[in-house]
Amino acid sequence: MVDAARNQTVADVMNPDPVTATPSETVRGVAERLEAAGVGAVVVVDEIRRPIGIMTERDLLRFAASGADGEVAKVGEWMTEDPGLIGVDVAAAKAFDKLAAAKYRHIPAVDSDGALQGIVSLRRLTQLAQLQPVTSPGHLEAPKGLEGVIVADTTVGDVRGQEGFYHYRQYSATDLARSRSIEDIWHLMFRGHLPTAPESAAFTDEYRALRVIPDSVAAVLPSIATASTPFVPLDALRTAVSLFGQVQGFRPWLDTDAETLRHEAMQICSVIPSLSMALYRLSRGEQPVTPHAELGYAANYLYMQNGQVPAANEAYGVEKYLISTIDHGFNASTFTGRVITSTGADIGAAVTGAIGALSGPLHGGAPSRALDMLDEIGTPERADAWVRNAVANGDRIMGFGHRVYKTDDPRSLLLREVAREMGGPRLELAVEVEHTVIDVLAELKPGRQLYTNVEFYAGVVMEECGLPPELFTPTFAASRAIGWCANILEQASDNRIIRPSANYVGPPPPQPVPPTEG
Nearest Cα to Cα of residue 363 among 352, 375, 376, 354: 354
- State the first-to-last Cα distance of the chain, in angstroms, to the nearest integer: 50
Residue type, 404: V
Residues annotated catalytic, as ranges: 402, 455
pLDDT at position 427 over 50: yes
Q: How far apart are CA 475 and CA 256, in angstroms?
A: 30
For residues 255 and 343, the answer to whether their CB atoms sit within 8 Å is no
- Residue of 368 and 165 predicted with greater confidence: 165
Residue 160, Cβ neighbours under 10 Å: how many? 17
Confidence of residue 438 (pLDDT cuts 50, 70, 90): confident
**pLDDT score, position 4:** 41
Angle between helix axes 347-358 and 332-342 (nearest 10 degrees) is 150
Domain covering 367-464, topology: Cytochrome p450-Terp; domain 2 (1.10.230)
CATH classification for the domain delimited by 172-364+471-493, as one of 3.10.25.10, 3.40.50.720, 1.20.1060.10, 1.10.580.10: 1.10.580.10
Domain spans in the chain, listed from the N-terminal domain onward: 2-146, 172-364+471-493, 367-464
pLDDT tens digit sequence for 268-304: 999 999 999 999 999 999 999 999 999 999 999 999 9
pLDDT at position 155 over 50: yes
Phi/psi for 295 (5° steps) reads -95, 150
For residues 282 and 222, the answer to whether their CB atoms sit within 8 Å is yes
CATH class assigned to 2-146: alpha beta
- Residue of 340 and 453 predicted with greater confidence: 340
Contacts 24+ apart (CB under 8 A), 205-208: 206/266, 207/183, 207/266, 207/269, 207/270, 207/297, 208/270, 208/291, 208/293
For residues 313 and 466, the answer to whether their CB atoms sit within 8 Å is no
Task: Tell me if the pTM is above 0.95.
Answer: no
Q: How far apart are CA 110 and CA 374, in angstroms?
A: 53
pLDDT at position 350 over 90: yes
pLDDT tens digit sequence for 218-228: 999 999 999 99
Proportion of the chain above pLDDT 90, given as a percent: 57
**pLDDT score, position 356:** 96
Across 194-198, average pLDDT: 97
Proportion of the chain above pLDDT 70, given as a percent: 93
